[in-house]
Amino acid sequence: MKSLAVLFGVLFFILTGSSVVFSQQEFSDLNIYDTVDKMPRLKGASNDLSQYVRKKVDYSDEYKIRGVEGDIWLSFVVTSLGTVTDVEIEKGIDIDLDEQVKEIVSNTSRWKPGQVNRKKVNTRMHLPVRFTLTTSERQFAQQIMSLNESGKMPLFVLDNKLVDGVVKIESYNLESVRVIKGSKAIKLYGERAENGVVIITSKIGTPPLYY
């Protein structure tokens, strides 16, 4: 009789434990949804998540003089707990810029999860982040790239003064840009001009930034 009572107790524990496990599975949705009734939202990002991410990226002159522009597409999952996971670059434009965007999205927090039937669920999101050059930046990059075939930077001359490194000048202050290559460049500016010369003339002499 005692052994029967023990056996009954064991059976009751197993059945009760199974019931608890079943209950957890019933209320914990581990699926990842591509379509939801209510999309996740990042608190503080308004309705334009792409622009929010774009503003946090250091889209420096280093990228612009190389003509880096376009849309970076990435995917990620916003969990039912409001965290971000599985961030992947689906289509990139530059390995360093891609990594910046990926890191910024990975570090976002305070998400409002997506919902299906008023229940918080894991939601897969796809996001484009656009980087666009101005017309003058694009033209300048094309001229630089035409000189930079060897992987070395050309010599810069701003308002008849030699510049060490790369010069940045605002488009509104740009009078003209000329490119000189080959022996003519070397004859005018010496061996430093072996990779070509970019001659920039400004309109009003606004102080540029040097790198």
Q: Are residues 103 and 38 in the same domain?
A: yes
Domain endpoint, select from 104, 131, 158: 131
194 secondary structure, DSSP code? T
Q: How confident is the model at residue 179 (pLDDT cuts 50, 70, 90)?
A: confident
Give domain status of residue 9, yes or no: no
Domain housing 49: 32-131
pTM: 0.64
Q: What proportion of the chain, given as a percentage, has pLDDT over 90?
A: 41
Q: Are residues 126 and 36 in the same domain?
A: yes
Dihedral class, residue 165 (left if φ above 0, else alpha if ψ from -120 to 50, else beta): left
> Residue 116: CB partners within 8 Å, gap ≥ 6?
33, 36, 37
Q: Are residues 160 and 94 in the same domain?
A: no
Q: Are residues 143 and 122 in the same domain?
A: no
Q: How far apart are CA 172 and CA 12, in angstroms?
A: 81
Give domain status of residue 160, yes or no: yes
Domain endpoint, select from 75, 110, 131: 131
- pLDDT tens for 145-156 read 766 555 567 788
**Is the pLDDT confidence value at 204 over 50?**
yes
- pLDDT tens for 46-85 read 889 999 999 999 998 778 878 899 999 999 999 999 999 9
Question: How many domains does the structure of the chain reveal?
Answer: 2
Q: How far apart are CA 137 and CA 61, in angstroms?
A: 9
